[in-house]
Amino acid sequence: MTRRTLALARHSVHTNLRTPFTWTGAALLLAVSLLGPLISLRNHGTWAFDPEMLGTGFAFGALFVIRSGVVEQRTGGLQDFLRVNCISASEHVLAAVLSLAASWLLYTAFAFAVGVVLSGGDVGLAAWTVSLLSLTLGLLLPFALMVECASDLRTPLFVPGFIYFAGLFALAAALGYQRMAELLGLNADRAWPPSSLPLATRAGVSLVVGFALILLVTRARGRRRRQRERRARAAAPVGASRDGTAPR
């Protein structure tokens, strides 16, 4: 990892945080999560934290927040500017991976803060709920980046998110809820934290394999341009000045 990669990732995070998408997603998480305690307050007269509503808000909000920003860079021509003049394609994609990971971590931290506040300071419950949600989201991150790299969709999580939930319902209908939960690693029990290990393992494998695949494909796609550059440099006549200065 280079200093340039980190600098570009930081710039992408800075830009992403200022997009209307990010604020929309954060507002959605907050609004939907608030519905649980508000409904409880209206129906039972007590403020009760509802982890399921936090999960629903988390899912809706993530659709808008989770992004690396490469779509804006590509459609605005900044990607060409960076890749031709400043950094390699691999460094550019690695910066996108870091930016996406940062949006994931920042969003997780925000959801945790919301959970802690709405649960009246129950840090354990908020941490447990948000960690499961975040691990599930981690499973989908590489696919979101693939969508960003291949399309102009500015809310890339919509595609893997839709496929994930469609698959979830299809599996539950075909195999039953219990078997589906086992397959996807969703049968975690708060009373026994190691039960979240299967989900964590799946998320870890998805992140490592998915991002490695994206980097490899980027490298392979940039090979033709690198070959053209090598040929152009190698073909320079012997008399040509190496530093480009005019021959005297």
Q: Round to whole Å and give the CA distance between 157 and 188.
A: 24
Is residue 4 close enough to count as binding another protein by CB under 8 A?
yes
Among 34, 78, 117, 183, binds another protein (CB under 8 A): 78
Rg of the Cα atoms in the chain: 23
Among 121, 191, 220, 243, binds another protein (CB under 8 A): 243
Among 52, 80, 182, 189, binds another protein (CB under 8 A): 80
**Rounded to the nearest whole angstrom, what is the least distance from the CB of residue 65 to another protein in the complex?**
13
Is residue 220 close enough to count as binding another protein by CB under 8 A?
no
- Please report, to the nearest 10 degrees, the dihedral formed by the alpha carbons of residues 98, 103, 108, 110 taken in order: 140
**Rounded to the nearest whole angstrom, what is the least distance from the CB of residue 37 to another protein in the complex?**
32
Among 42, 44, 224, 248, binds another protein (CB under 8 A): 224
| DSSP 3-state of 24 | helix
Q: Round to whole Å and give the CA distance between 198 and 26.
A: 28
**Rounded to the nearest whole angstrom, what is the least distance from the CB of residue 199 to another protein in the complex?**
33
> What residue type is assigned to position 35 of the chain?
L
- DSSP string spanning 117-167? HHTTS-HHHHHHHHHHHHHHHHHHHHHHHHHHHHS--SSTTHHHHHHHHHH
Q: Which of residues 81-110 bind another protein (CB under 8 A)?
A: 81-82, 84-87
Is residue 69 close enough to count as binding another protein by CB under 8 A?
yes
Task: By CB under 8 A, name the binding residues for another protein.
Answer: 3-4, 7-8, 10-11, 14-16, 18-19, 69, 72-73, 76-78, 80-82, 84-87, 224-225, 228-229, 231-233, 235-237, 240-247
